[in-house]
């Protein structure tokens, strides 16, 4: 079960954190993984990790907010790997502050990556998948797609857009062999979290980490690997009947 042998999987933002966990797991399960990240060195390191475990992977440096670069990279992926069976739109950036603290530049920066980036990659993915007879798209939303979070105006705006883009793609292409779902994680312990705490709470990292962990009723943050396991299911043939859904993975957060 959950084998991806013979499939080509494209994962954006795969140089670290959740994206790295998804790319690594997909490679372990037999997919030929296209590792996309803005950080070329990070993407190359993940490729080496996948290959070192016996998998197949290639790296591309890409700014997902650049239409020209995205189109070029997807063209190179098809030229080199022949197809795209799975697309995981994971690349994203944070946004902190309420609407009054949000500048136009802040808004545009988050929008370009978290919304326009998903649009551009999904557009290329859909075009390719229609030509080959189908495929799977998985977008990274958030619990912020479902509930209001304090001081997360731009981030919540962007993840709400990811949710509704997911529903739209699923509806438009359900009869043409393309499934589209999204994940809605709560706090996941990634290198970003550690960097955020070090920058904003120097000397209080452990205190704040514990406080953030308790936000989830289960009493801890999630692990990237746990998100990757759910991503694997949704992108596998075992989930062939699943489309147009948002899957919370939140340690009970939305049950409160």
Active site positions, annotated: 155
| Residues near 176 by beta carbon (within 8 Å), at least 6 away in sequence | 130, 134
Q: What are phi and psi of 236, to 5 degrees?
A: -90, 165
Beta-carbon count within 10 A of 192 CB: 15
Q: Residue for token digits 């990279």?
A: 73
| Residues near 48 by beta carbon (within 8 Å), at least 6 away in sequence | none
Q: Residue for token digits 């070090």?
A: 198
Residue 71, SS3?
A: helix
Q: DSSP of 167-189, one letter per residue?
A: HHHHHHHGGGTEEEEEEEE--B-
Per-residue tokens: 162: 């990811």
- Pure H helices in the chain: 17-28, 40-52, 67-81, 104-111, 117-132, 153-173, 191-200, 205-213, 224-235
Task: Supply the angle between the helices 117-132 and 67-81 in degrees, to the nearest 10.
Answer: 30
Which of 114, 106, 111 lies closest to 89, judged by CA?
114
């Amino acid at each position: 079960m959950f084998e991806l042998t013979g499939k080509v999987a494209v994962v954006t933002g795969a140089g670290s954190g959740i994206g790295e966990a998804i790319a690594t797991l997909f490679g372990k399960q037999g997919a030929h993984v296209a590792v996309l990240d803005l950080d070329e060195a990070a993407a190359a390191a993940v490729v080496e990790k996948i290959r070192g475990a016996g998998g197949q992977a290639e790296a591309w440096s890409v700014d997902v907010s650049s239409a020209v670069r995205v189109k070029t990279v997807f063209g190179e992926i098809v030229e080199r790997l022949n197809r795209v069976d799975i697309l995981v739109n994971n690349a994203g950036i944070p946004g902190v502050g309420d609407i009054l603290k949000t500048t136009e530049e802040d808004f545009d920066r988050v929008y370009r990556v978290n919304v326009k980036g998903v649009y551009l990659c999904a557009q290329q993915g859909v075009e390719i998948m229609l030509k080959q007879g189908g495929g799977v798209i998985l977008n990274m939303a958030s619990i912020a797609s479902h509930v209001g979070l304090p001081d997360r105006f731009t981030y919540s705006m962007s993840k709400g857009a990811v949710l509704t883009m997911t529903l739209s793609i699923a509806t438009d292409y359900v009869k043409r062999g393309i499934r589209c779902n999204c994940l809605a994680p709560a706090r996941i312990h990634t290198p970003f979290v550690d960097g955020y705490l070090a920058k904003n709470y120097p000397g209080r990292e452990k205190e704040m980490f514990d406080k953030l962990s308790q936000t989830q009723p289960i009493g801890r943050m999630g692990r990237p690997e746990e998100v990757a396991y759910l991503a694997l299911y949704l992108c596998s043939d075992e989930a062939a009947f699943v489309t147009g859904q948002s899957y919370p993975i939140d340690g009970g957060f939305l049950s409160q």
